[in-house]
Amino acid sequence: MSEEGFYKELEEAASRIEEAGRSALVVSHYDADGLAAASIIARALAQLGFALHIVILEQLTHAGFARIEKLAPSYPLVLLVDMGSGALLELSKLKTKAVVVLDHHLPGSPAENVEEVNPHRFGIDGSREVSSSGLAYLLAKELKGEEAVALAPLAVVGALGDRQDVGRGFKLIGINRRIVEEGVEAGLLEERTDIRVFGGSSRPLVKALAYTIDPFLPGITGDEGGAFAFLKDLGIEPTVGGRLRTLNELGREERKRLASALVKLLLGAGYSVREAERVYGATYILTREPQDSPLRDAREFAQLLNATGRMGYFELAVALGLGARGEILLKATDVAGQYRSLLAKAFKCVREENIVKEKETCVVVDFRGKDFLNERVSGALASLLLPYVKGDKILLVLVDSPEGVKVSTRRKESPAVHVGELMAKAAGQVGGVGGGHETAGGATVPTDKIDAFINFVEKDVRLSGDRQNP
């Protein structure tokens, strides 16, 4: 295992693509990283003259795989990004000339006839050091050379969407760091340290606070009046000359006061110190986007992709990644507003309804029966609710799915259990599918097997704890 071998695998994947015919089926995930990765691949292949069919999936469930299986014979190349490493044997049976997989999730058994690029196989942490959009960017460089550096900002957007800003000061690390440096050197990116509210560089501070959903700010997110009152209580005047002020207009002392107050707010809501401190750290600016654009801040760009994807507007997300603006951007921002309202409604259910069940090793938040939610939102809810979980319990969020129950799982630094492995194992026990990363994963489980699934997870986590503390 070596980084040299990783880049050799990228070269071989590029060769396989160049040898295929000039049409491709591109399959990706609906989250920000998957959508950014699909956009990067689409831009690179389109420039090489490929005709493309893009399919966005929740995961490789039985229905999802059946869809790929039906389409594959019409294309000499099937390229999967942000998924596929756990289903290589099944993918090897597709009736097509070439199958290429770019995935940063925990890989399964390798298979012949599939060209797979997965950083985990080379000792590179795909949960922290490179996302699927980063892999897509590196592949685009193999295909297009230095011309592909123009796609570096989109790779950073995807990495932020997957919360890979885990370095000191919440900077990107590993291969992601190199991509940042290439973008900065090309004049496409700028890295700053600042208060990380939604679109703080482009919109009034009251709106930026109210639009912030990661982290979810109690009494502020979704409530401009609450944001206005919060600033007034801090002695920070929200307006000047009859208009709302922006973050950039705050003085140094005001910024320090605001950052400190936001950290205290989150600590009071149950966030860990590490999570609360995420409101201040590295921000990444896309310098070619207009000053007032919601796409200028890479994290805001990621949240727009995430919102449009989870609300099912895949075509808007990919269009943004391909460079569309104007009416497309207006529609995407409207969808993002709907998404924030949906999340606020879900949080209200958590506060006011009996849907949270504390178990021995897990906390289960059961949104089944909530018709306003779809299965694509479960992962976002799990990430946003995790800071409220006390102790070291694992969080399971349940949402109805057309194929059963979608389970999104998150954990903090402990217990020492690999969530992706656990989801794959537990789902496999009950006829479902699952997988993921070390601290985040998901599964789709038959409705009548959800109790057995949860019991298996409880038992497995308990046994892991016993093994850790004999």
pLDDT tens by residue, 185-198: 999 999 998 888 87
Percentage of the chain lying above the pLDDT 70 cut: 97
Q: What is the pLDDT of residue 132?
A: 98
Domain presence at residue 321: no
d(CA 120, CA 417): 17
Q: What is the pLDDT of residues 317-337, one digit of tens each?
A: 999 999 999 999 999 999 998
Q: Do residue 342 and residue 366 come from a single domain?
A: no
d(CA 5, CA 116): 12
Q: What is the pLDDT of residue 414?
A: 60
**Residue 288: C-alpha distances to residues 291, 293, 332, 345 (Å):** 9, 10, 19, 35
Q: What is the pLDDT of residue 1?
A: 57
Helix (H) / strand (E) element for 441: namely strand 440-445
Q: Do residue 200 and residue 121 come from a single domain?
A: no
Report DSSP state, residue 117: E
Instruction: Select from 47, 75, 44 the least CA-distant residue to 55.
Output: 75
Where are the extended beta strands (E) located within 43-175? 51-57, 77-81, 98-102, 114-117
Percentage of the chain lying above the pLDDT 90 cut: 72
Q: Which amino acid is at 446?
A: P
Q: Do residue 260 and residue 369 come from a single domain?
A: no
Domain CATH for 400: 3.10.310.40
Note whether 228 and 326 are within 8 A (CB).
no
Task: Flag whether pLDDT at 380 surpasses 80.
Answer: yes
Total of domains in the chain: 3
Q: What is the pLDDT of residue 16?
A: 95
Q: What is the pLDDT of residue 201?
A: 64
Task: Flag whether pLDDT at 92 surpasses 90.
Answer: yes
Domain presence at residue 416: yes
Of 145, 160, 185, which marks where a domain is finished? 185
- For the residues 272-290, what does the mean pLDDT come to? 89
Q: How confident is the model at residue 448 (pLDDT cuts 50, 70, 90)?
A: very high
Q: Do residue 178 and residue 217 come from a single domain?
A: no
Domain presence at residue 148: yes
**Residue 16: C-alpha distances to residues 7, 22, 101, 287 (Å):** 14, 12, 11, 34
Task: Flag whether pLDDT at 213 surpasses 90.
Answer: no
Domain containing residue 363: 356-465
Q: What is the pLDDT of residue 51?
A: 97
What tokens appear for 215 in the block? 């982290």
Q: Do residue 155 and residue 268 come from a single domain?
A: no
Domain presence at residue 332: yes
Q: Do residue 209 and residue 332 come from a single domain?
A: yes
Of 143, 160, 185, which marks where a domain is finished? 185
Instruction: Select from 47, 250, 340, 30 the least CA-distant residue to 161.
Output: 30
**CA end-to-end span of the chain, whole Å?**
32
Q: What is the pLDDT of residue 412?
A: 80
The chain-wide mean pLDDT, for the chain, equals: 92
- For the residues 17-29, what does the mean pLDDT come to? 95
**Residue 122: C-alpha distances to residues 125, 311, 419 (Å):** 9, 35, 20
Pairing between β-strand 114-117 and β-strand 98-102 as defined by DSSP bridges: parallel
Domain presence at residue 26: yes
Q: How confident is the model at residue 468 (pLDDT cuts 50, 70, 90)?
A: low
Q: Do residue 79 and residue 135 come from a single domain?
A: yes
Note whether 141 and 361 are within 8 A (CB).
no
Can you tell me which residue has the tokens 């208009």? 243
Q: Which amino acid is at 452?
A: A
Q: Do residue 436 and residue 332 come from a single domain?
A: no
Report DSSP state, residue 56: E
Task: Flag whether pLDDT at 415 surpasses 80.
Answer: no
Domain presence at residue 320: no
Q: Do residue 144 and residue 203 come from a single domain?
A: no
List the helix and strand counts (H, then E) for the chain. Answer: 17, 15
Domain presence at residue 198: yes
Q: What is the pLDDT of residues 128-153, one digit of tens each?
A: 999 999 999 999 999 999 999 999 99
Of 156, 185, 214, which marks where a domain is finished? 185
Least confidently predicted of 30-39, 231-240, 270-279: 270-279
Q: What is the DSSP string of 339-386?
A: HHHHHHHHHHHHHHSS-EEE-SSEEEEE-TT-TT--GGGHHHHHHHHG
Q: Do residue 33 and residue 135 come from a single domain?
A: yes
Task: Flag whether pLDDT at 469 surpasses 70.
Answer: no
- The CA dihedral of 76, 81, 85, 87, to the nearest 10 degrees, is -60
Note whether 126 and 104 are within 8 A (CB).
yes
Task: Flag whether pLDDT at 306 surpasses 90.
Answer: yes
Q: Do residue 33 and residue 127 come from a single domain?
A: yes
Domain CATH for 51: 3.90.1640.30
Can you tell me which residue has the tokens 């402990």? 414
Phi, psi of 51 (to 5 degrees): -90, 135
Task: Flag whether pLDDT at 470 surpasses 60.
Answer: no
Q: How confident is the model at residue 272 (pLDDT cuts 50, 70, 90)?
A: confident
Higher pLDDT, 382 or 437: 382
Instruction: Select from 5, 8, 4, 60 the least CA-distant residue to 30.
Output: 60
DSSP helix/strand/coil, 119:
helix
Task: Flag whether pLDDT at 432 surpasses 90.
Answer: yes
pTM across the whole model: 0.88
Q: Do residue 343 and residue 402 come from a single domain?
A: no
Task: Flag whether pLDDT at 467 surpasses 60.
Answer: no
Domain presence at residue 334: yes
